[in-house]
Amino acid sequence: MSSFKNLFSPIHMGAMKLKNRIVLAPMATHYGTEKGRMTERQIQYYVERAKGGVGLIVTESNYVSLEGRGGINRLGLYDDHQIQEHKQLTGALHKVGTPVCAQLHHGGVTVSMKAVGQYPVSCSSVPNLTRGELFVGNIPRRLSESEIEGLVQTFSKAAWRAKESGFDAVMVHGAHGYLINEFLSPHTNKREDRYGASEENRARFLMEIVESIRKKLGPNFPVMVRLTGEELFDGGYRIDFIKKVAKWLEDAGADEINISAGNYEEIERMVAPPVFPEGFLSKNSAAIKGIVKIPVGVVGRIMSPSTAERIIAGGEADLVYLGRALIADPEFPKKAEEGRENEIRPCIVCNKGCIDRLFEGVDIGCSVNAAMGKEVQRRILHTDRPKNVLIVGGGPAGLEAARVAAARGHHVTVCEKSKTLGGTLNQAVLLPNKEPISRLIQYQIKQIEILGVTVELEKEVTPAMIRKSRPDVLVMAVGAEPIRLGLPGANLPHVFVAEDFLKGKVSLGSSTIIIGGGLFGAELAEAIVDQGREVIMIEQLDSIGSQAGFIIKKDQLKRLCHKGVKMLVHTKAIAITGQGVLVERFGEKETIRADTIILAIGYHPREDLLQKLDIDKIEFYQIGDCVQPRTIMEAIEEGNRVGFMI
């Protein structure tokens, strides 16, 4: 059984009792309708997390008015017609025995003008340069005092609709650079009336909202508040201000305060990449917990039960909010409580399926959980016709296909020609900040061990072997191999591919040129510069890391610039010489000098075995990078889909 006794102890929040301290953090999914209504897909997403054992579910943000809508296909509580759809959600979750909280939200300056059909509103006309028109941004219309008073009532009416819908609590979203946070922050609040100029006045809008909700819903209905603990950019507030706000909120009738971080100007703190340590915001929640008597929660890269337990046991927070970790594995709480933490599917903090897709305005998914958003369609059911399945290749695609096929009752064998499972992920883990990838490999291996999959390592599959064993199903997942450019000089002794460096086959000189400026090349550059070498990157396109999501890219580029990596874009490599690389830039040719040249220009599918196969009368599938080199997300999705098709 679980050793996480503090994490799985009950707690009261107002009149609501939670069975444990794990809360599903509010995260937009784009599963709702354009009218802000709940869908069956959305309900099943939440039900799956409820079945997984969370103590409380907080829905994604519900906009309280049309002008505050963050995007199309978000949820709303701005009109009475939405109550019935929300009742379907609360009823479904109550059947599972899980309480549910509605988050109330107004996007302020961050709203999508496409979604609201007008310029945004805020406390002041301070532009948000990270959203909106190029070189202009979103410039909001300043709210009048009477409009602010009206919005206070708008929030309380939305809270009433939440209660009528069967929600067990409401959470006021006062973080992340949205409207309430804009009032709180001296960076955006430039008012001189009773809603600005002083700390008390900047907090007045939030206090009036909480007081109005408390008056409308009575003394026993739980009211929670989310806050950005501190703003670390110039002109932002610090934790001392939020400590005052927390005390005022407690006096105003709030039942819980949960601490987050960041806004659109420091978005990497909202959805932190791997460079941030797990639980990195707990120092802020501890500061709040020290001055209030109501429960305090915290979010921020809480990816393991041990981190969650440490925060609770150490008195840094009463509740832990898990977001991406519960997207990756809805059964995180259940597995942790049962002592099966090594079976938790880890979030790899890539932001590819969730955050990147969210900001593209499309429905979210998950790189490691192919069932995300498809909880009903991808529910594993046992087959009544078991087959003998041979999977060639033990990378992420092959291992996911093996997991699903074996879970469905098929007899599965995985053949891998190397000494270890994991494919190219075994090289990726050698790059900086890739510990989550190591967890993924361990998870996939553990799963096929539990399911009894036969694994044959150092086993190179041949056409003759396939003909002899004659499996019912053959799945090719043999991956890809590094591209070597057909450049003059590419075979010189000081020229290597990236995998050579990762495998320890490169003796670096004092300076290195990396040809190829994708995310892999950028991560490689960081690994090399950390060894005290000069690094120059050469990229034909107009930016480094162009395939990466914007948060990962921003974080990576900041570190490369800080560490002095020279990045040349719009630069074409023409030839490699004994002195360096001959390039063409702006119509001129020049030689960039370096001792070592590393090619990081991508991969091409392995096709040698595929071309020799005779697959007549064998059910055949091809998945992963041997189809086309892409990301973990595509590899696992294809492996999962084929596992269901067999």
Q: Which residues of 238-277 are buried (b: 16+ CB within 10 A; e: fewer)?
A: eeebbbebbebbbebbbbbbbbbbbbbbbbbbbbbbbbbe
- Rounded to whole angstroms, the Cα distance separating 557 from 537 reads 12
> Cβ(64)–Cβ(114) under 8 Å?
no
215 class by beta-carbon count within 10 Å (0-12 exposed, 13-18 middle, 19+ buried): exposed
A 10 A CB-CB count for 445 gives 17
CB within 8 Å of 377: residues ≥ 6 apart: 371
C-beta of residue 135 within 8 angstroms of C-beta of residue 190: no
Q: Assign residue 475 a region (left: φ > 0; alpha: ψ between -120 and 50; beta: otherwise).
A: beta
Distance between CA 76 and CA 68 in Å, rounded? 10
- 80's tokens: 């009475």
Determine how many CB atoms are found less than 10 A away from the CB of residue 143.
23
What whole-number distance in Å separates Cα of residue 244 and Cα of residue 429? Answer: 43
Cross-strand pairs, 101:
58, 169
Contacts of 360 (CB under 8 A, 6+ apart): none
Strand, coil or helix: 101: strand
Residue type, 389: V
Closest CA to 581 of 526, 543, 511, 590: 590
Round to whole Å and give the CA distance between 529 and 500: 17
Say how far apart CA 79 and CA 66 lie, in whole Å: 9
525: tokens are 């550059």
Three-class SS of residue 225?
A: strand
Q: How far is CA 87 from the centre of its chain?
A: 28
Enumerate the β-bridge partners of residue 89: none
Catalytic residues: 178
| Greatest distance between any 2 Cα atoms in the chain | 84
